[in-house]
Amino acid sequence: MALKYNGPLQMQINDIAQVAEYMWEKGWAERNAGNISVNITELVGKENRNLPVISKTPLQHVVPELDNQYYYVTAAGSRMRDIARNPMDQGIVVRVTEEGSSIETLADKDLPPTMELPSHLLMHRVFAKEALSNNLPVSSGRRLVFHTHPTELIALSHIKALQSSKAVTETLYRMHPEVTMCIPDGVCWIPYQAPGSIELAKASIKDLTRYSFMLWEHHGILATGTDILDVFDAVDTLNKAAKIYFYIQMQQK
């Protein structure tokens, strides 16, 4: 069954497609690299809440705070260049059900979600707790998780002297003052864990209440927020600062 579009939902899907195109054009999304999930509960509309269930998948970890929340999720193996052309050809809309123990795929195809979905949902659970603690709807705060492979940031993550939250943040702040404005809380350093693993998810959510941006060692950036275009802009600024760092290093040799 195809997703029925209203104005706000169409704009959100368009923004996802636009960011996917930017990722591909910048070389941050080689092959099937990168993944996106966005809470669209407030946008999905009555017209989509009764869509027939295409498939149902149990979750590895129960996320009760996300019960009856709707998400756009990129599919496993999806390529950002293809998502840019048609976000619903390699992405799906899912609903969390049974008190957070499973997801139902509602539109448009029966595709497996990104392998990072367990990590994403644990992060969305942190966002839900933040909102609920302030007596707000789950989707009213941070509502998106965005992972990509910016070349210079990954290169930066290989430098031993910068492998801490303090060191990498201070270095990026020194390179470009815009970083301080875009990411005032800094960047969290996450030591290497296997991509898609629960170990990586747990390492990431440990400091997620303090940080919105995380540099995964040898792997890329994990970014969270409320607006996907704003989050992309912040990551772009971070990567610009990393480029400046390497330009300076070359000049000093």
Report the catalytic residues.
116
Token digits of residue 39: 């809470």
User: Sheet containing 187-190: which strands, arranged edge to edge?
Assistant: 55-58, 102-107, 91-97, 70-74, 35-39, 144-148, 220-225, 213-216, 187-190
Q: How far apart are CA 93 and CA 33, in angstroms?
A: 20
Q: Identify the H or E element spanning 103.
A: strand 102-107
Token digits of residue 171: 């270095």
Break the chain down into helix, strand, coil percent, rounded to 5: 45, 20, 40
SS3 state at 130: helix
